[in-house]
Amino acid sequence: MLEIKGLDVAVEKRQILHDVNLTIREGETHVLFGPNGAGKTTLLMAIMGFPKYVVTRGSVVFNGQDITGLPVDERARLGIGMSFQRPPVVRGVTTRDIMNVCLYGHDGETASQLAEKANLTDFLDRDINYGFSGGELKRSELMQLLAQRPNLALLDEPESGVDLVNIALIGQLINELLDKECPMRERKCMGLIITHSGHILDYVNARTGYVLYDGRIGCEGDPHEMLATIKEKGYQECIRCIAGISYDFEELSRQS
């Protein structure tokens, strides 16, 4: 279970996230919507524990353990994995090198088998992310996660810039990652997926969605309905929703 409680996050001394609360239970996949710059990536980076994303208030609790102060690699070893919106190039370090790191301690599929699955066989001996196309980057990120087998997968726009044919492949990889094929009760893997287009909703079993706007979460609900609202009325509808909530809070505090 992932519990995010009253989280404030600052980047370069500027507060980006305000009082974010969310809970993902075993086997659940949640979806995060929100306009550009809302703070979606910031939330994922903070959960993963990147030092630049400073938690100034609140906590991140993973499977009962408060991990708020833990370094990135320890979180990875606890079973949190992330696919990056814009992964960096690391010259001289090959995709295979990274796959071997991800596979460390896991039995099962080899780097070559996973590469075949992600249609990236020719990429194993290339420097990681060097000269990869947008779609190749996305597949490579998911391939690494499949090797890592995280208990919580944080997916930052896994389908952005992916063509219509490859989106099915991406969907398949994510399914496997979140073991969608398992019956709900046996499913353990958790997911938190950022999406703009919502295409990925066709492939995953997600019942909870959020809209992040201006660093705040509002409009928790069914992601399909949310997507329809956003498409029809834009994020504006949700601002009103957030405004409503904050109004309620003010009311509450005045009453107390």
Partner 1 sequence: MTSKNYQDKAKTAATKKAAFGDDINLEEYLAATEELPYQDDPSQLPAPTREQMRQVGVIVDDASQRSGTIIQMDHSVIHSLARQEGVEVMATGQALARYDWLSDYFWQAVAVDSDKYTAHVELHQANGYFIRALPGAKTVYPIQACLYLARNKLAQNVHNIVIAEENSELHIITGCAASINEPGLHLGVSEFYVKKGAKITFTMIHSWTPDVSVRPRSGIVVEEDGLFLGNYVLMKPVKSLQMYPTARCVGENATVRFNSILVTPPGSAMDIGSRVLLDARGTRTEVISRAITTGGNIVARGYIEGSAPEVKGHLECRGLILQGEGTIHAIPELKGDLAGIDLSHEAAVGKIAEEEVEYLMARGLTRTEATAAIVRGFLRVDIEGLPPELSAELQKAVEASEQDIM
Q: Could you say whether residue 92 binds partner 1 (CB under 8 A)?
A: yes
Q: Could you say whether residue 88 binds partner 1 (CB under 8 A)?
A: yes
The answer to whether the beta carbons of residues 80 and 62 sit under 8 Å apart is yes
Least distance from C-beta 139 to partner 1, angstroms?
16
CB nearer to ligand ATP: pick between 124 and 194? 194
Nearest alpha-carbon partner for 221 in 208, 239, 231, 236:
208
Least distance from C-beta 154 to partner 1, angstroms?
10
Judged by CB under 8 A, the residue of 104, 182, 188, 231 near partner 1 is 104
- 211 phi and psi angles, rounded to 5 deg: -110, 125
Least distance from C-beta 150 to partner 1, angstroms?
10
Nearest alpha-carbon partner for 213 in 234, 199, 198, 228:
234
Count of positions on this chain that bind ligand ATP (CB under 6 A):
13
Site mask for ligand ATP (CB under 6 A), range 10-39, x = bound: -xx---x-----------------x-xxxx
Tokens of residue 89, six digits = 């190039």
Per DSSP, the residues of 183-244 read: -GGG---EEEEE-SS-GGGGTS---EEEEEETTEEEEEE-HHHHHHHHHHH-THHHHHHHHH
Q: Could you say whether residue 87 binds partner 1 (CB under 8 A)?
A: yes
Q: Could you say whether residue 41 binds Mg ion (CB under 5 A)?
A: yes
The answer to whether the beta carbons of residues 60 and 67 sit under 8 Å apart is yes
| C-alpha span between 98 and 103 (Å, rounded) | 9
| C-alpha span between 54 and 15 (Å, rounded) | 9
> Residues in the site for ligand ATP, rule: CB under 6 A?
11-12, 16, 34, 36-42, 52, 85
> Residues in the site for partner 1, rule: CB under 8 A?
48, 50-51, 71-73, 76-77, 81-82, 84, 87-93, 97-98, 101-102, 104, 127, 144, 148
> Residues in the site for Mg ion, rule: CB under 5 A?
41, 85
